[in-house]
Amino acid sequence: VGPPGTGKTLLARAVAGEAGVPFFSISGSEFVEMFVGVGAGRVRSLFEQAKKSTPCIVFIDEIDAMGHSRGAGIGQSYDEGGQTLNQLFTEMDGFDVNQGIIVLAATNRPDVLDVALMRPGRFDRHVEVGLPDVRGREQILRIHTRNKPLADNVSLSEIARGTASFSGAQLEQLANEAAMLAAREGKSLVDIDHFRRAQSRILMGEERHIIVSDADRKLTAYHEAGHAIVGAFVAATSGGDAVHQVTIIPRRSAMGVTGFLPKEDKYTYAKAYCMGKIKTLLGGRVAEELTAGIEMVTTGAGLDLKTMTNLVRRMVCDWGMSDKLPLRTYGEHSEQVFLGRDLGRERDYGEDMAKKIDDEIDRIIAECLDEVRLILTGSRDKLELLANALLERETLSGDEVRAIVGGEAESEAQAVLPILPTETKAGKKDWVLRWLKYGWRNLSDLIKWAKGKPWKHWHSFFSRQSVSSRSFSTYRFDFFGISKRVSESESGSRSRRKRKAGLLATK
């Protein structure tokens, strides 16, 4: 059991090779026919051959093609599938204890398998074949590059660290693509640049050679620059994925692509990581608004908005990442597996709760949208620099992006939003130095915002209280720029305490 490309079939063949016994391999789709009885007949034929060659191993690849839940189909197609599956049960239950036939199967969809197939006595031992970790990726790369001449600047350990979430099949493709790029250029050695370009092709797709107008090309550059700047800020503040590459060369159905790679293998995702993902997805749309105006935004953010909405809904409904709703899951997954993972979701709540869920989704998106606007407004000069660099060079690596938006990763966030000093002397000194370098860039934008505001906004601004306007209600300000975020409840309780102490004017 495991995702595609992790080596489930290869592992079964390796088991047979190590055991030194005959190996019978067949795909689950070969049992599925339009004529009733053909699939069951093939199952009988397979096991008759296996009994003549004992001891042996029978391997059924993609068993979900024939072993899906009975009751997920209707009519003749179900009759054929049900008969094939029942015949498999009969053959497996008819083995003697010491007959010497081992049955293995592989699938990447265990959720659709019939429960009778998974019961004890049949496929009761489940081996998880997951994505390789960094050591596994390096070993896989060594296997697939042993017959390829590599340049001295190629470090397989570095490539392995930069290919988190790659499967074994993708690593094989990476090595082959890099070798083909070197061959097309007439190079005798495969260097690191070939691997980087091959990785971009796998992650982002093939380049499309189409004619793009100057206006569309410019807006695409700002869109991708918005993704990259917000992504760099998120990576520095909440452990988000690092920017891998930014390009305005059309690939697949996109006019441009900003690729991200995780810094390390991830098995669970924190709420801060998910919120950072939402902000990064919104970065392109907000950059379009800032540069072209709300009336000139394009359809380029369509996929970003769809991905973002699905992520927020899962945070609220599946992962309990909302502090406004009771801690539980919302919506049950239907057992009608033929509908698919998304269509099979059923509501287990009423209309009032549905409205609360929608309101919470809207609140999270609005909160992230406000912060993204602050980030890009406070780093408008970097947005211009990065967009112009993309217009000139079309493709930038992650290191080139980081050099433009602030150099060292630690200063990426500091260049956008200066934070309050810590209580220690060293922390206060560090904050002063950072403000002298970065903080003045935000001052003009803050003055524009505060211009014409009532006195209570200015009073709040100077006294480091939470500004009461909707867009800025969750930020604490000081004279030098935006400081760290505080919750509305925290801000309100502090204001009440100060009022009681006579430090704030009251009506």
Q: Identify the pLDDT of residue 412.
A: 38
Kindly state whether residue 292 falls inside one of the protein's structural domains: yes
Do 449 and 472 have their domain in common? yes
Is the CB of residue 382 less than 8 Å from the CB of residue 405?
yes
Q: Identify the pLDDT of residue 183.
A: 93
By DSSP bridging, strand 475-478 and strand 257-261 are unpaired
Task: Look at residues 350, 372, 404 and tell me which one is the last residue of a structural domain.
Answer: 404
Do 270 and 386 have their domain in common? yes
Do 389 and 359 have their domain in common? yes
Alpha helices in 53-209 (DSSP H): 75-93, 134-144, 156-161, 168-184, 192-204
Q: Identify the pLDDT of residue 237.
A: 82
Task: Look at residues 353, 376, 404 and tell me which one is the last residue of a structural domain.
Answer: 404
Do 298 and 153 have their domain in common? no
Sign of CA dihedral 44, 45, 50, 53: positive
pLDDT in tens, 336-356: 444 444 445 577 888 899 999
Q: Which residues contact 264 (CB under 8 A, 6 or more apart)?
A: 134, 164
Do 37 and 156 have their domain in common? no
pLDDT in tens, 206-247: 777 778 888 899 999 999 999 999 999 888 887 788 888 899
Alpha helices in 239-295 (DSSP H): 271-292
Kindly state whether residue 412 falls inside one of the protein's structural domains: no
Kindly state whether residue 19 falls inside one of the protein's structural domains: yes
Numbers of helices and strands, H then E, in the chain: 19, 10
User: What's the Rg (C-alpha) of the chain?
Assistant: 29
Do 284 and 345 have their domain in common? yes
pLDDT in tens, 132-187: 988 999 999 999 999 999 999 898 988 998 888 889 999 999 999 999 999 999 99
Q: Identify the pLDDT of residue 507.
A: 38
Do 19 and 107 have their domain in common? yes
Kindly tell me if the per-residue pLDDT of 82 is higher than 80. no
Kindly state whether residue 506 falls inside one of the protein's structural domains: no
Q: Tell me the mean pLDDT in the region 446-462.
A: 46
Q: Identify the pLDDT of residue 86.
A: 83
Q: Identify the pLDDT of residue 244.
A: 84
pLDDT in tens, 361-403: 999 999 999 999 999 988 888 999 999 999 999 888 888 898 8
Do 96 and 236 have their domain in common? no
Q: What is the mean pLDDT of the chain?
A: 77
Confidence of residue 443 (pLDDT cuts 50, 70, 90): low
Kindly tell me if the per-residue pLDDT of 420 is higher than 70. no
CA–CA separation, 413 and 230 (whole Å):
9
Kindly state whether residue 325 falls inside one of the protein's structural domains: yes
Do 219 and 361 have their domain in common? yes
Q: Identify the pLDDT of residue 429.
A: 55
Q: Identify the pLDDT of residue 433.
A: 56
Total tally of structural domains belonging to the chain = 4
Q: Identify the pLDDT of residue 310.
A: 94
DSSP secondary structure letters along 39-79: HHHHHHHHHHHHHHT-SEEEEEESGGGT-BPTTS--HHHHH
By DSSP bridging, strand 23-27 and strand 56-61 are parallel
CATH of the domain at 386: 1.20.58.760
Q: How many residues does the chain have?
A: 507
pLDDT in tens, 234-289: 888 877 888 888 999 888 778 888 888 887 777 888 999 999 999 999 999 999 99
pLDDT in tens, 302-344: 999 999 999 999 999 999 999 889 998 888 755 444 444 444 5
Q: Helix, strand, coil % (nearest 5) of the chain? A: 55, 10, 35
Active site residue 410: no
Q: Identify the pLDDT of residue 80.
A: 60
Catalytic choice (80, 138, 172, 224): 224
Kindly state whether residue 448 falls inside one of the protein's structural domains: yes
Q: Identify the pLDDT of residue 468.
A: 31
Q: Identify the pLDDT of residue 360.
A: 95
CATH of the domain at 166: 1.10.8.60
Confidence of residue 120 (pLDDT cuts 50, 70, 90): confident
Do 50 and 155 have their domain in common? no
Kindly tell me if the per-residue pLDDT of 474 is higher than 60. no
Range of the domain at 184: 135-204
Q: Identify the pLDDT of residue 281.
A: 95
Q: Is pLDDT larger for residue 41 or for residue 471?
A: 41
Q: Is pLDDT larger for residue 139 or for residue 485?
A: 139
Q: Tell me the mean pLDDT in the region 120-126.
A: 84
Q: What percent of the chain has pLDDT over 70?
A: 73
CA–CA separation, 103 and 123 (whole Å):
8
Q: Identify the pLDDT of residue 3.
A: 87
Kindly state whether residue 70 falls inside one of the protein's structural domains: yes
Q: Identify the pLDDT of residue 124.
A: 83
CA–CA separation, 450 and 457 (whole Å):
7
Q: Identify the pLDDT of residue 357.
A: 93
Residue 142, Cα to own-chain centre: how many angstroms? 27
Q: Identify the pLDDT of residue 98.
A: 54
Written as six digits, the tokens of 314 are 């899962």
Task: Look at residues 204, 223, 243 and tell me which one is the last residue of a structural domain.
Answer: 204
Kindly state whether residue 200 falls inside one of the protein's structural domains: yes
Kindly tell me if the per-residue pLDDT of 290 is higher than 50. yes
Do 387 and 480 have their domain in common? no
Q: Tell me the mean pLDDT in the region 186-215.
A: 85
Do 94 and 230 have their domain in common? no
